[in-house]
Amino acid sequence: MLDRIRRVGLDAQTAPEMAFEPAYLRLYETGELQARVERALELLRSCEACPRLCRVNRLEDETAVCHTGRYAIVSSYFPHFGEEDCLRGWNGSGTIFFSMCNLRCVFCQNYDISHRKRGREVRPDELAAMMIELQRRGCHNINLVTPEHVVPQILEALPLAIERGLRLPIVYNTSAYDSMESLRLMDGVVDIYMPDFKFWDSRLSLRYLKAKDYPEVARRTIKEMHRQVGDLVLDERGLARRGLMVRHLIMPGGIAGTREILRFIAQEISPHTYVNIMAQYYPAGKVSSEKYSEINRRITEEEYEDAIRAARQVGLDRLDPRELDRHRWQVI
């Protein structure tokens, strides 16, 4: 069975990707993937798919914080050329944007997707078909954006996609506000974890993310992600194949705790962690209200340079080069 799936995958994929074999094929062959699907769906019965632990019966379409019931809501899917070079390559990263989110970041730059339920429900076979379409369009990976609350639905679709020939690496593009149970279910499924470590301080996390426990959860989950996949590995063409990438968005006034986050990554994850220190913060979401006036501005050149110095000082030596180059030409 696995050999047949591998052959189908080769037929469906372009030549530059032919040497890669994702780990999830082995899980499929042994039957473990289907067992995980069943365990994952049980998480929805009294929902514990994320740290919110809302315990509503999503199998019966009950909803709570994420406003997502039995099926995932997808706002869009397409080859994305705005990601890191090692993900976008020359044909794009195959992004699937899931609507809604288990955080409520007041500055969210995808506010219409994460807060306003933009998109439509998709059944497992349709989600699988999206993955296959992105593969046929030559994308280098399947990039699952905001997957924290729909891990069971993703796993439910994956065997269908595998049977149709999916063999691209899977990127788990997350806020890091994940449950450990969901991450255990994704162990051996995800090839590339890409969490965003947003805030270090719990008081500020409550104010800006509406999740006081975010820093504690992020520290725990990023450690687990690294345990599963290790440091990022690139192939000979510079494409990401397996490992951990961490994003961090610099905030005005240093409120995100950039220095503490970078120190944690270097000392408790790995000094070889691939880190994208992002300078593209701009006022969005609810930031224009007087309540959040302190972050109603872009970051300064000095704030960016301070973040880069902090990374170098703690020994992080794999900073995303495109972000560094782009910032040199950016007017703040």
Q: What is the pLDDT of residues 205-264, one digit of tens each?
A: 999 999 999 999 999 999 999 999 999 999 999 999 999 999 999 999 999 999 999 999
What is the per-residue pLDDT for 2?
A: 40
DSSP letter (8 states) at residue 182: H
What is the per-residue pLDDT for 262?
A: 98
Query: CA angle at residue 236 from 239 to 6, to 5 degrees?
Result: 70
What is the per-residue pLDDT for 16?
A: 43
Convert the pLDDT of each residue in 159-194 to its tens digit. 999 999 999 999 999 999 999 999 999 999 999 999
What is the per-residue pLDDT for 249?
A: 97
Q: How confident is the model at residue 325 (pLDDT cuts 50, 70, 90)?
A: low
User: Taking residues 286-296, what's their average pLDDT?
Assistant: 92
Q: How confident is the model at residue 288 (pLDDT cuts 50, 70, 90)?
A: confident
Q: How confident is the model at residue 331 (pLDDT cuts 50, 70, 90)?
A: very low
Q: Considering only 3-17, 69-83, 117-131, 289-303, which range has the smallest mean pLDDT?
A: 3-17
Please give the share of the chain, as a percent, with pLDDT higher than 90: 85
36 pLDDT exceeds 90?
Answer: yes
What is the per-residue pLDDT for 330?
A: 47
Paired sense of beta strands 120-122 and 93-98, if any: unpaired
Distance from C-alpha of 33 to C-alpha of 36, rounded to nearest angstrom: 5
Distances (CA, A) of 207 to 147, 184, 214, 256: 23, 29, 11, 12
Distance from C-alpha of 243 to C-alpha of 229, rounded to nearest angstrom: 5
User: Taking residues 70-78, what's their average pLDDT?
Assistant: 96
77 Rama sector, left if φ>0, alpha if ψ -120 to 50, beta otherwise: beta
Identify whether the C-beta of residue 10 lies closer than 8 Å to the C-beta of residue 18: yes
Q: How confident is the model at residue 323 (pLDDT cuts 50, 70, 90)?
A: low
Please tell us whether the domain made up of 2-328 is placed in CATH 3.20.20.70.
Answer: yes
User: Taking residues 25-54, what's their average pLDDT?
Assistant: 96
Task: Enter the pTM of the model.
Answer: 0.92
